[in-house]
């Protein structure tokens, strides 16, 4: 992808690798320096750092409409090959647990980083797992949100026979 997607991945990994950051649904407004996040506040915050039009601290239920509403993200089916900077997402109504979830793709292999659970019920992350790269598979989510501004001016061609868009 482009420079902004690279920055998003860098910030996400920076937060995940710093155990002053943990998981919390109650205190979910962390910053680069300190504080905790839940899954959606983590994803929207790192995108907000790179593109201020993305609302920081969105919820899993509102973030799709907020991000797509900026005109800078496209919704793609989960069968799409994930790329660095992509956001994988499922609403609560789409998951057996009834709880929505989202993660960020941090490389071009579809590897995920995200905020998962508060294992020790304390601020920060004493386990190293609360915000981590243990996100599972992108294919288990229902949609991908892809930033569409890094490739402005790049010509795309759509093949109606194969259904593939190439650059």
User: What is the 3 state secondary structure string of the chain?
Assistant: CCHHHHHHHHHHHHHHCCCCCCECCCCCCCCCCCCCECHHHHHHHHHHHHCCCCCCCCCCCCHHHHHHHCCCEEEEECCCCCCCCCEEEECHHHCCCCCCEEEEECCCCCCEEEECCCCCCCCCCCCCCCEECCCCCHHHCCEEEEECCCCCCCCCEEECCCCEEEC
Q: Per the structure block, which two tokens stand in for 166?
A: 């190439």
Model confidence, pTM: 0.84
Q: Per the structure block, which two tokens stand in for 154?
A: 């790049």
- How far is Cα 97 from Cα 110, in angstroms, rounded to an integer? 23
Query: Which residue shows structure tokens 């907020």?
Result: 66
Q: What is the mean pLDDT of the chain?
A: 86
Please report the pLDDT score of residue 154 as a whole number.
Answer: 41
Q: Are 144 and 73 in contact (CB under 8 A)?
A: no
pLDDT tens digits along 64-105: 999 999 999 999 998 999 999 999 999 888 887 778 899 999
pLDDT tens digits along 138-155: 888 999 999 998 655 444
Distance of CA 117 to the CA centre of its chain: 16
């Amino acid at each position: 992808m482009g420079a902004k997607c690279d920055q998003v991945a860098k910030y996400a990994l920076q937060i995940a690798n710093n155990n002053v950051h943990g998981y919390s649904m109650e205190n979910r407004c962390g910053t680069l320096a300190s504080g905790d996040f839940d899954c959606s506040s983590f994803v929207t915050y790192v995108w907000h750092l790179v593109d201020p039009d993305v609302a920081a601290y969105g919820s899993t239920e509102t973030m799709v409409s907020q991000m797509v509403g900026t005109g800078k993200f496209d919704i793609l089916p989960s069968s799409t090959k994930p790329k660095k900077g992509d956001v994988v997402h499922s609403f609560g109504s789409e998951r057996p647990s009834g709880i929505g979830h989202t993660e960020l793709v941090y490389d071009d292999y579809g590897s995920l980083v995200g905020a998962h659970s508060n294992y020790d019920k304390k601020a920060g992350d004493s386990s190293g797992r609360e915000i981590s790269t243990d996100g599972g598979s992108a294919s288990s989510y229902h949609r991908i949100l892809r930033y569409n501004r890094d490739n402005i001016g790049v010509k795309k061609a759509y093949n109606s026979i194969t259904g593939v868009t190439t650059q």
